Amino acid sequence: MKKTLLIQIGLFVATVITTTLTGAEWMTGRSFIFGDELRLGWDDFVNGFYYTIPFLGFLTTHEFGHYFMAKYRKVKVTLPYYIPFWFGIISTFGTMGAFIRIKQEVKSRNDYFDIGIAGPLAGFVVALAATAYGFANLPDIDYIFTIHPEYKAFGANYGDFVYKDMSDLGAMRIGDSFLSGYLKDTFANPSLIPHPNEMIHYPIVVAGFLGLFFTALNLLPVGQLDGGHILFALIGEKNFNIVSPVIFCLFTCFAGIGFFTPNELTNTLAEDYLGTLMNFAFYIYFIFICVSKITENTLTNWCIALSIVFIQLLSSRLFPEFEGYSGFLAFAFLIGRLLGVYHPPVDSSEELGTTRIVLGWLAIVIFVLCFSPYPFY
């Protein structure tokens, strides 16, 4: 027990460090490893807490929402395990999240519902507050000029000049959800809103946005995600076992639209027949791996995978400008192979009650409001 606690504390401390490193690098656009004279130092590290405090505040509130509800429901769980994640050579969030481990079999539908919904609702409040506060307290334009002194010559309209050649730009943008867009329009002074390419330098806004986005991912109503627990309790096992795989397949299909297009395949096949064929075959197999646990029949799963790829290619043919978000393919793999698209059976004899039903559908609404189909681009 003591050893486990030390591990959990160590992981938390490590995650504080890695998220602070990430926050400092995003705020300044510089690195702790590269840059010689421009390399970041201690003062920059301390400033990174402007990202760490709201982001880990969200993550910790989310996990302890699960933890305290599990304790209230008398379900044995561990304290959160945080996952630090920082390389220094590529951009990361500073963490891959956190999780608690349930140490006993959960047999009650209400237990699953209460534990599942407590985390997202608690974390959502923190993410909502952080995003609103960040937009309401945007610094003036001189803040950007301290990061990019070369922009000062162009004044407040720097975006009209420095981003003309977008092909050479390596900036990461964040894509608004319904809710983050509303909060920006409501709380931010329009004259202080930076160009989208510079939003990454605003740590509280970024932390709040990430909190809203990861709340949405957790509320995706599939399998054993928090949203899966909630929807399972709302509509029952029979309906859930139909709806969940459909949502998962639609999610996977959207993610891969544009990854391969008919025109691209036609052109590259002529130039590199074998290489293109192998890449496309590998992609089809990847989709199959993602959906391979939907049924126990391998042939059926292959049919599902091929149908998804066909719809993706057809979508690209009919709507050439429309693309999905390929970053979601990794999440589809995680769900399909590790988490599963179905929910473990539970005792369904318990009534949810009006309060739980209202909260459950509220969580679905929060998912819709917080989900960004193109979170980073």
Q: What is the mean pLDDT of the chain?
A: 93
Write down the pLDDT at residue 170.
Answer: 59
Residue 282 lies in a domain: yes
Write down the pLDDT at residue 263.
Answer: 87
pLDDT for residue 266 is more than 60: yes
pLDDT for residue 251 is more than 50: yes
pLDDT for residue 164 is more than 90: no
C-alpha–C-alpha distance, residues 194 and 169, integer Å: 16
For residue 172, name the pLDDT band (cuts at 50, 70, 90).
confident
Residue 366 lies in a domain: yes
Is this prediction's pTM over 0.75?
A: yes
pLDDT for residue 294 is more than 90: yes
Percentage of the chain exceeding pLDDT 90: 77
Write down the pLDDT at residue 30.
Answer: 84
Residue 187 lies in a domain: no
Buried b (16+ CB within 10 A) or exposed e, 188-214: beeeebbbbbbbbbbbbbbbbbbbbbb
pLDDT for residue 171 is more than 70: no
* Number of separate domains in the chain: 1
Residue 3 lies in a domain: no
For residue 302, name the pLDDT band (cuts at 50, 70, 90).
very high
pLDDT for residue 167 is more than 60: no
Residue 143 lies in a domain: no
Percentage of the chain exceeding pLDDT 70: 96
Q: Say which amino acid occupies 138.
A: L
Write down the pLDDT at residue 168.
Answer: 46
Contact 136, 186 (CB under 8 A): no
For residue 100, name the pLDDT band (cuts at 50, 70, 90).
very high
pLDDT for residue 44 is more than 70: yes
Q: Region 250-258: what's the mean pLDDT?
A: 98
Residue 298 lies in a domain: yes
Residue 45 lies in a domain: no
Residues 6+ apart with CB under 8 A from 327: 255, 375, 376
Write down the pLDDT at residue 346.
Answer: 86
Write down the pLDDT at residue 41.
Answer: 86
- 12-23 pLDDT, tens per residue? 999 999 999 999
Helices 273-291 & 298-318 angle (0-180, nearest 10): 120
Contact 368, 171 (CB under 8 A): no
Residue 343 lies in a domain: yes
Domain that holds residue 335: 235-370
Angle at 277 between CA 274 and CA 281, to 5 degrees: 140
Write down the pLDDT at residue 90.
Answer: 79
Q: Region 209-220: what's the mean pLDDT?
A: 98
Write down the pLDDT at residue 165.
Answer: 62
Write down the pLDDT at residue 33.
Answer: 81
Q: Region 72-81: what's the mean pLDDT?
A: 96
pLDDT for residue 36 is more than 70: no
Write down the pLDDT at residue 240.
Answer: 96
